Structure 1
Amino acid sequence: MYTVEEINQMTRTAFVEALGPAFEESPWVAERAYESSPFADRDQLVTEMIAVMHKASQEEKLALLNAHPDLGGKLAMTRASQSEQRGAGLDHLSENEYEVFSGLNRQYVASFGFPFIMAVKGRTKEEILTAMQERVNHGHEEEFQQALAEVGAIASFRLSEWVENNREGVSR
């Protein structure tokens, strides 16, 4: 775990290495957020990183969404995603559950052009399944915005685990 003071003293390379993984396979978010340091506290850091995501081009946002793994999938994923999915029980799906999740994931990607994204920390596989069943029927723009909000929530959870929320930011 880092303190905000340590974060503010990092070089750009160290900052991106430490915090880049908060946004799945998209270190450009941390790269751009570095310009806003020093940060007063973790909340300001999180707010700035999420703002960077929202200021990105439509193509960058879509690439960010597509960097996320399917929920309940069996393909390679980052360590953080593995841990989050394991915590929701998605690593122990029955064959039938796996087929249902896989089918919904395929339907979702076919409809929206990016994978279903949900901040699964503290959620059960039943809650996730229900959300998938509901959200697959949303309109494209509504779901695009929902997916970005979920990415922000995921990043916030990750940064809360990696950075202490002290109020003593310092200059680098």
Structure 2
Amino acid sequence: MISLDDVNAMSPSAFLEAFGDIAEHSPWVAREAAAFRPFAARTDMIRHFEKALRAANRDAQLALIRAHPDLANRAKLTADSAMEQAGAGLTSLTPEEFARFTALNTAYRERFGFPFIFAVKGATKHMILESFEARIGNSPDAELETALAQICRIFRFRLEDRVAP
């Protein structure tokens, strides 16, 4: 764990090295959030990561959403994604469960043009499937907003894992 004092004392390059991967393959979020230092508390840091995402234009937001992997996909994942998906049981699915995730991933991408985003930490594969099935009927605008909200939850989980309260 990194102390908040150490976070606030980091050079811009050290901050990017430490937190550039919080947003999946999108270091620009950390670069934008770093400009708000010094952070008064870890919650302030989390809020500024969220603020950076929310202030971005729609193309940048969509690029970040699209940088996320499909859930339960056997493709190469970032270390954070691999750990989070394993914790939710997505790396040990039965063949039937894997087929269901694959079908939902395909249908979701076809409908919305980006992957299903769910902050899986603390969730079970059954909870994720229920959410998947419920959200696939959302409007595109509602689902874009839900994806952004889930990404903000991912930011919170990842920063809570790295920065001391």
Indicate whether the TM-score tops 0.5. yes
Q: What is the Cα deviation at residue 17 of structure 1? A: 1.1
> Equivalent residue for 1:157?
157
> Equivalent residue for 1:3?
3
Q: What is the Cα deviation at residue 15 of structure 1? A: 0.4
> Equivalent residue for 1:169?
none
1:126-146 CA-partner distances (Å, limit 9, x unpaired): 110010011011000000000
Q: What is the Cα deviation at residue 34 of structure 1? A: 1.1
Residues matched between the structures, number:
165
Give runs of aligned pairs for residues 35-54 of structure 1, distance below 5 A.
Answer: 35-54=35-54
1:90-146 CA-partner distances (Å, limit 9, x unpaired): 000111111110000000011111100001111110110010011011000000000
Identity of aligned residues (%): 40
> Equivalent residue for 1:55?
55
Letter in 2 for 1:106: T
Letter in 1 for 2:50: I
Unpaired runs of 5+ residues, structure 2, are none
Letter in 2 for 1:125: K
Quote the Cα distance in structure 2 between the aligned partners of 1:49 and 1:128.
24
Give runs of aligned pairs for residues 82-93 of structure 1, distance below 5 A.
Answer: 82-93=82-93
Unpaired runs of 5+ residues, structure 1, are 166-172
Q: What is the Cα deviation at residue 20 of structure 1? A: 1.5
Quote the Cα distance in structure 1 between the aligned partners of 2:127 and 2:33.
33
1:76 aligns with 2:76: yes
Quote the Cα distance in structure 2 between the aligned partners of 1:65 and 1:17.
21
Letter in 2 for 1:143: E
State the superposition RMSD in angstroms. 0.6
Letter in 1 for 2:6: E
Normalising by structure 1, report the TM-score: 0.95
Quote the Cα distance in structure 2 between the aligned partners of 1:101 and 1:35.
39
Task: Using CA pairs under 8 Å that are at least 6 residues apart, name the structure with larger relative contact order, 1 or 2.
Answer: 1
Normalising by structure 2, report the TM-score: 0.99
1:31-74 CA-partner distances (Å, limit 9, x unpaired): 11111111111000000110000000100000000011111110
> Equivalent residue for 2:12?
12
Give runs of aligned pairs for residues 128-147 of structure 1, distance below 5 A.
Answer: 128-147=128-147
Q: What is the Cα deviation at residue 154 of structure 1? A: 0.6
